[in-house]
Amino acid sequence: MAGAIAYISRDTDGVAWNKILTEALGPLDFRTIANGLGKTDDIEVALAWKPEPGLLATFKNLRMIVSLGMGVDHLLADDKLPHVAITRIMDDGLVGQMSEYALYWGLWHHRDIERYAASQRAKKWKPEEFVDTIDRRIGIMGLGSIGQDTSRKFAALGFPTAGWSRTAKTVPGVETFHGRDSLAMFLGRTNILVNVLPLTRETRGLLDKTLFAALPKGSFVINMGRGGHVVDEDLLAALNSGQISGAALDVFNVEPLPPNHPYWAHPKVHITPHMAGYTNPRTASPGVIENIKRLRSGRELIHRVDPKTGY
């Protein structure tokens, strides 16, 4: 039998992955943390989500690491990460879920749903001020597959939509900006900011007081990228001053969000527990299966990660 596949995640048990990979590849030596990794020299492929730093370095014959998330910061944070091929899942299902998350909060804010809920509680019939869709400008930071899908969907609803990315990108129907020099211009035209950037050395802490101040007063922020993009004190200050009218946050500097964190009780913060995109084995596995086959037959891998750019 070929080398073992190790499933390294404390969030899910790997049963679904074992079944789906076995159906596609035949009998497997599939190991999990919960069931014991056994003799780790046998491990050829690691499917990993937030592995303990240093763990993967102990797999002496490892040939490929597969990130179980589309983001790979959880791997690159390990300074002992072995120098083997790193790939990541590319999951259309997850991409669609992330877009749903942004659309949900964008529409929730745009159509004043919170105010209507409060009016209902007060048995008050009170139409809120009308804001035309063409006056609600959406700005998506990060134009990888998730940002592109999200921006296309907002644009399809008639919202003027722009995207900002490190390098130049083109998305039909979406105005695009790139590089630090154009960031202020992008922010100045944005009323609902959606962050879906990868977390890298360059993007850590990018959502800080300077960025919030560059948005028009009363903008709404949706963070489904990483908690590390946000300087929490700066966001809290911007919410308290009214510069930012509200924030939907799915990701946090520390996860789970500690019980004493000020976000929990803040009336303008809407918290979800890193659920915007779920790695669904049904939709995420085809690329992983393809890569295991390619690895075993010595062909070039797909969905490779460049550790230098961080995605």
Catalytic residues: 226, 274
Instruction: Mark the segment that binds ligand GLV (CB under 6 A) among 68-76, 77-85, 152-160, 181-189.
Output: 68-76
Does 70 sit near ligand GLV (CB under 6 A)? Answer: yes
How many CB atoms sit inside 10 A of residue 47's CB?
27
With the C-alpha atoms ordered 175, 310, 20, 294, is the resulting torsion angle positive or negative?
A: positive
Does 75 sit near ligand GLV (CB under 6 A)? Answer: no
Q: How far is the CB of 69 from ligand GLV (least distance, A)?
A: 3
Instruction: Please state, in angstroms and as integers, the Cα–Cα distance from residue 173 to each residue in 145, 157, 158, 196, following that order.
Output: 15, 11, 10, 19
How many CB atoms sit inside 10 A of residue 250's CB?
23
Q: How far is the CB of 215 from ligand GLV (least distance, A)?
A: 24
Q: How far is the CB of 71 from ligand GLV (least distance, A)?
A: 3
Binding mask 251-290 for ligand GLV (x = CB under 6 A): --------------------------x-x-----------
Nearest to ligand GLV of 30, 49 (CB atom): 49
Which residues have CB under 8 Å from 153's CB, separation 6+?
99, 103
Does 69 sit near ligand GLV (CB under 6 A)? Answer: yes
Does 71 sit near ligand GLV (CB under 6 A)? Answer: yes
Instruction: Mark the segment that binds ligand GLV (CB under 6 A) among 51-59, 63-71, 101-109, 183-191.
Output: 63-71
Nearest to ligand GLV of 94, 207 (CB atom): 94
Nearest to ligand GLV of 277, 310 (CB atom): 277
Instruction: Mark the segment that binds ligand GLV (CB under 6 A) among 26-34, 65-73, 106-114, 296-304.
Output: 65-73
Contact 82, 57 (CB under 8 A): yes
Q: How far is the CB of 70 from ligand GLV (least distance, A)?
A: 4
Residue of 232, 163, 225 lying closest to 198 (CA atoms): 225
Residues that bind ligand GLV (rule: CB under 6 A) add up to a total of 6
Sheet holding 85-88, edge to edge: 30-32, 4-8, 43-48, 64-67, 85-88
Nearest to ligand GLV of 3, 71 (CB atom): 71
Q: Where are the beta strands (DSSP E) in the chain?
A: 4-8, 30-32, 43-48, 64-67, 85-88, 138-141, 161-165, 175-178, 192-195, 219-223, 244-249, 269-271
Binding mask 109-148 for ligand GLV (x = CB under 6 A): ----------------------------------------
Render 105-158 in DSSP notation, one character per residue: HHHHHHTTHHHHHHHHHTT---PPPP--GGG--EEEE--SHHHHHHHHHHHHTT
Which residues would be at the binding site for ligand GLV (CB under 6 A)?
69-71, 94, 277, 279
